[in-house]
């Protein structure tokens, strides 16, 4: 009887630990020249999917159209301001930029993410400072992503 009770406790703790490690924010971002600082007149567009895990690891990609991108990054900065690079993205298929395997935020970058102070920026030869940009806005506190609905 005592072993059965201990087994139940151990299993419960395992489920809780597994649930905690599965917590993640899934963020969708639209990129446009109008979000650049200063704004850029361009037909280029982009869409990004970003997953930010509670252990500060990140994954995701940006897909672009209408731009011959030379580089893409996640930068630190509030909407309407420019800031330093937080993470470089790697070129994937045509028009695609990926967060590298094993990428993660520092504590300061994670805090900036939670405050809505990160953005995607896609650069081109014509617009070296960035042709399209999209602010990364985390879901409201307590919101559950599809990964958390079990």
Residue holding tokens 């081109």?
Answer: 124
What whole-number distance in Å separates Cα of residue 2 and Cα of residue 90?
Answer: 54
Domain limits of the chain?
Answer: 24-139
Tens digit of each residue's pLDDT (9 = 90 or more) over 9-32 = 544 444 444 444 458 999 999 999
What tens digit of pLDDT does each residue of 70-99 get? 999 999 999 999 999 999 999 999 999 999
Q: Does domain 24-139 have CATH number 2.60.40?
A: yes
pLDDT digits (tens, 9 = 90+) for 36-69: 999 999 999 999 999 999 999 999 999 999 999 9
Structure confidence at residue 112 as a pLDDT band (50, 70, 90): very high
DSSP symbol at 144 = -
Here the tokens at position 75 are 């930068």
């Amino acid at each position: 009887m005592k072993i059965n009770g201990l087994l139940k406790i151990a299993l419960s703790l395992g489920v809780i630990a597994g649930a905690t490690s599965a917590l993640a924010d899934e963020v969708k971002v639209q990129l446009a020249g109008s979000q650049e600082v200063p704004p850029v007149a361009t037909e280029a567009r982009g869409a990004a999917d970003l997953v930010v895990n509670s252990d500060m690891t990140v994954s995701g990609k940006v897909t672009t159209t209408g731009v011959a991108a030379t580089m893409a990054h996640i930068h630190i900065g509030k909407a309407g301001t420019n800031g330093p690079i937080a993470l470089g993205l790697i070129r994937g298929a045509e028009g695609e930029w990926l967060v590298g395997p094993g990428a993660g935020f520092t504590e300061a970058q994670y805090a900036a993410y939670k405050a809505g102070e990160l953005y995607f920026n896609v650069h081109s030869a014509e617009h070296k400072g960035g042709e399209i940009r999209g602010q990364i806005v985390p879901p409201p506190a307590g919101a559950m992503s599809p990964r958390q609905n079990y």
